[in-house]
Amino acid sequence: MLHRCVPKKFGCYFEPFLGGGALFFGLCPENAVLSDSNDELIHCYRIVRDRPEELVERLSKLKVSEEEFYKIRAMRSEVLSAVARAARFIYLNKTCFNGLYRVNKNGLFNTPIRCTPLADTK
């Protein structure tokens, strides 16, 4: 629906609230300035862009279980390597309740694990 509102030709695409980036990825503009107030999200996009193979390797080693979820959620992102930080962000987003990114007043991710049972997988 938003695609209909975009002019046929434009210079630089500016996205102040990137989020999932649906419009940006749908348009695939040649020139773009992307931003979001969520530093973890922007960091993750940079790692996806610059170091995708390392990120996929790191993600493939994570186990999907309740125990692993809370262990990873408890980690402080600022002490992790760049790739581990991005992997943590993706892992939590994919395994938490409704993919909801929420932090408490101390900036700590606090969304619980999704309600449906998780299979222990590698």
CATH number at residue 78: 1.10.1020.10
Q: Which residues contact 19 (CB under 8 A, 6 or more apart)?
A: 36, 41
Using pLDDT thresholds of 50, 70 and 90, give the confidence band for residue 117.
Answer: low
Tokens of 111: 């969304």
Integer angstrom CA distances of residue 44 from 61, 82, 117: 18, 9, 27
105 in a structural domain: no
121 in a structural domain: no
Q: Give yes or no for a contact between 86 and 43, defined as CB atoms under 8 angstroms apart.
A: yes
91 in a structural domain: yes
115, pLDDT greater than 90: no
122 in a structural domain: no
Give residue-wise pLDDT tens across range 6-20.
998 989 999 999 999
Residue in this structure with the two tokens 């262990």, named with its chain if needed: 71
112 in a structural domain: no
Give residue-wise pLDDT tens across range 68-83.
999 999 999 999 999 9
- Residue 119's pLDDT is what? 54
| Average pLDDT of the chain, as a whole number | 92
Residue 82 belongs to what domain range?
A: 12-99
Residue in this structure with the two tokens 């630089």, named with its chain if needed: 12
Using pLDDT thresholds of 50, 70 and 90, give the confidence band for residue 96.
Answer: very high
In the chain, the number of structural domains is: 1
